[in-house]
């Protein structure tokens, strides 16, 4: 477990590490940059090198069975972002290992887990082979209109809460929010951060208001995540999805 500055969660848990680029939202991936730094520091999780064309030093996809027991050791309930340094539904993560992660989440109902993927095709393909406890929220990333199809795949997943991470928002996007419970929007941060247009953000916010979907504006982005703050039209938007007793039909 690691405390995190990510505004919409409390801690991170990484039963897998490593990834590679799959769409434009990955171009300035913070996790890839952080993995390179951790590798240089001798962190054992990041000693595996990936393909330099798509990932980078210390960022090959690796599973870590030794981390699976960690949630059982946390005494207080936590909101947990699963795999901040990877993608649980990456093609090189064995399906059996994904099931083991889900088994841990089911066995620790005191925690709230947030799982996020860009591999929505695989998510949809194996969703019916997983148990979906009510403390698992499932999300997909959508950075522009081209990748809005991930939302359709997410809707086929029987998660208690379905959410979208529209970060980094790289262009205008029209979203179908039917059966979507939560939308997070944010600008890119880091060296070479691509700009975000406030009009794009307002369109998503207003669509959330029309559909009664919780809206969370994370950041404008810039050289650092907090450089330009997170105020939108004079307000801070930190809505969270309503808890549900069961799962979607």
User: How many residues would you count in the chain?
Assistant: 249
How far apart CA 131 and CA 109 sit, in angstroms, is 13
Residue 89 lies in a domain: yes
- From the list 108, 88, 107, the residue with the least C-alpha distance to 98 is 88
Q: Give me the numbers of helices (H) and strands (E) for the chain, helices first please.
A: 5, 12
pLDDT at 2: 81
Residue 248 lies in a domain: no
pLDDT at 60: 86
Per-residue pLDDT band at 223 (split at 50, 70, 90): very high
Using a cut of 0.85, tell me whether the model's pTM lies above it: yes
- Token representation of residue 103: 């088994």
Report the pLDDT averaged over residues 73-84: 96
Which residues does 66 contact at the CB level (< 8 Å), separation at least 6? none
Residue 249 reports pLDDT greater than 60: no
pLDDT at 216: 98
pLDDT at 28: 76
Q: Is 176 left (phi over 0), alpha (psi -120 to 50) or beta?
A: beta
Q: In sequence order, what E strands does 60-145 have? A: 62-63, 79-82, 112-117, 136-141
pLDDT at 235: 98
Report the pLDDT averaged over residues 207-232: 96
Number of domains in the chain: 1
How far apart CA 143 and CA 67 sit, in angstroms, is 30
Helix (H, G, I), strand (E, B) or coil at 72: helix
Say if CB 120 and CB 154 are below 8 A apart. Answer: yes
Report the pLDDT averaged over residues 39-61: 66
pLDDT at 14: 95
pLDDT at 34: 60
- Token representation of residue 161: 């809460």
Residue 161 lies in a domain: yes
Q: What is the pLDDT of residues 108-142, one digit of tens each?
A: 999 999 999 999 999 999 999 999 999 999 999 99
38 vs 27: which has the higher pLDDT: 27
How far apart CA 230 and CA 216 sit, in angstroms, is 10
Residue 116 lies in a domain: yes
Domain holding 131, by residue range, is 2-236
Report the pLDDT averaged over residues 43-70: 76
Say if CB 145 and CB 166 are below 8 A apart. Answer: no
Residue 242 lies in a domain: no
How far apart CA 28 and CA 11 sit, in angstroms, is 22
Per-residue pLDDT band at 95 (split at 50, 70, 90): very high
Instruction: Write down the mean pLDDT value for the chain.
Output: 90
Residue 243 lies in a domain: no
Q: What is the pLDDT of residues 145-204, one digit of tens each?
A: 999 999 999 999 999 999 999 999 999 999 999 999 999 999 999 989 999 999 999 999
Burial 229-239 (b: 16+ CB within 10 A, else e): ebebeeeebeb
Residue 241 lies in a domain: no
How far apart CA 39 and CA 43 sit, in angstroms, is 5
Per-residue pLDDT band at 88 (split at 50, 70, 90): very high
Side-chain-side CA neighbours of 47 within 13 Å: the count stands at 6
How far apart CA 79 and CA 6 sit, in angstroms, is 11
Which residues does 195 contact at the CB level (< 8 Å), separation at least 6? 187
Cα 228 to Cα 114, 166, 196, distances in angstroms: 26, 18, 11
Helix (H, G, I), strand (E, B) or coil at 195: coil
């Amino acid at each position: 477990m690691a405390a995190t500055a990510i505004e919409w969660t409390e801690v991170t848990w990484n039963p897998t590490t490593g990834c590679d680029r799959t769409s434009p939202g990955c171009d300035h991936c913070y996790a890839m940059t952080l993995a390179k730094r951790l590798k240089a520091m001798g962190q054992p999780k990041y000693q595996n090198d990936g393909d330099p064309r798509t990932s980078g030093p210390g960022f090959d996809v690796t599973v870590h069975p030794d981390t699976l027991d960690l949630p059982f050791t946390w005494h207080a309930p936590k909101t947990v972002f699963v795999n901040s340094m990877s993608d649980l539904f990456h093609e090189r993560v064995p399906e059996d290992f994904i099931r083991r992660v889900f088994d841990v989440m089911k066995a620790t109902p005191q925690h709230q887990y947030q799982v996020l993927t860009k591999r929505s095709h695989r998510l949809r393909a194996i969703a019916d082979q997983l148990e979906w406890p009510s403390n698992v929220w499932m999300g997909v990333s959508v950075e522009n209109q081209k990748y809005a199809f991930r939302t359709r795949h997410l809707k086929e997943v029987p998660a208690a809460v379905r959410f979208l991470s529209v970060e980094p928002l790289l262009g205008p996007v029209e979203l179908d929010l039917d059966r979507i419970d939560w939308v997070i929007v944010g600008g890119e941060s880091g060296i070479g951060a691509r700009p975000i247009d406030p009009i794009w953000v307002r369109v998503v916010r207003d669509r959330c208001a029309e559909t009664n979907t919780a809206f969370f504006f994370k950041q404008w982005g810039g050289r650092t995540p907090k450089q330009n703050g997170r105020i939108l039209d004079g307000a801070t938007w930190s809505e969270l999805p309503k808890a549900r007793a069961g799962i979607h039909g």
